[in-house]
């Protein structure tokens, strides 16, 4: 696979991808970062009450956030920072439940954590 003019491709701009890209770039390596989500402005990422509470209730009722609403952080910050589970479903063995908070935006879940 020819990835020129890049030496490396990093998929995802979260904490992991961001640090990987920085570390490689600091060595003079040409890095391409691919991100699935949009760039969210600071005021858009912030929590806004009571709007966020209404959005959270909607996320529960529509099942858009059926799993992620079980995470305590969901109730503390902007629910827009949690992926739509209907569009991005995941599976796990019934005996080994796994609660996955997904954040599909530039910066990934570092925005969610920062918000909390
Ligand atoms: C509410 C909350 C509180 C937290 N509190 C703490 C804490 O106190 N201390 C702590 O250490 N950690 C905390 N965390 C965890 C920490 O935020 C995460 O572990 C960390 O941000 C994960 O980084 P990551 O880069 O591995 O993944 P993510 O941040 O999930 O980044 C993945 C990135 O990849 C992108 N992506 C996914 N699929 C594709 C694709 N196919 N193509 C291109 N891009 C793609 C996503 O859009 C996203 O930007 C918290 C998390 C949450 C949600």
pLDDT digits (tens, 9 = 90+) for 35-47: 999 999 999 999 9
Burial 15-27 (b: 16+ CB within 10 A, else e): eebbebbeebeee
* pLDDT for residue 18 is more than 70: yes
Q: Is residue 28 part of a domain?
A: no
Alpha carbon of 108 to ligand 1 centroid (Å): 5
The pTM score is 0.89
pLDDT at 2: 60
* pLDDT for residue 3 is more than 70: no
Q: Is 115 in the pocket of ligand 1 (CB under 6 A)?
A: no
Q: Is residue 84 part of a domain?
A: yes
Structural domain span for residue 93: 47-102
Q: Return mean pLDDT, the chain.
A: 94
Strand residue runs (E) in 1-116: 8-11, 31-34
Q: Is residue 65 part of a domain?
A: yes
Q: Is residue 36 part of a domain?
A: no
Mean pLDDT of 83-103: 93
Q: Is 67 in the pocket of ligand 1 (CB under 6 A)?
A: no
The β-bridge partners of 10 are 33
The number of folded domains in the chain is 1
* pLDDT for residue 20 is more than 90: yes
Alpha carbon of 86 to ligand 1 centroid (Å): 19
Q: Is residue 73 part of a domain?
A: yes
Q: Is residue 18 part of a domain?
A: no
Q: Is residue 16 part of a domain?
A: no
Q: Is residue 19 part of a domain?
A: no
């Amino acid at each position: 696979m020819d990835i020129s003019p890049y030496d490396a491709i990093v998929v995802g701009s979260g904490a992991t991808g961001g640090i990987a890209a920085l570390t490689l770039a600091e060595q003079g390596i040409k890095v391409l970062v691919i991100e699935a989500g949009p760039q969210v402005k600071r005021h858009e990422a912030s929590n806004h009450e009571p709007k966020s509470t209404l959005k959270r209730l909607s996320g529960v009722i529509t099942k858009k956030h059926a799993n992620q609403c079980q995470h305590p952080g969901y109730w503390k910050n902007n629910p827009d920072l949690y992926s739509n589970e209907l569009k991005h479903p995941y599976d796990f063995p019934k005996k080994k439940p796994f609660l996955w908070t997904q954040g599909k935006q530039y910066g990934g879940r570092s925005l969610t954590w920062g918000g909390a």
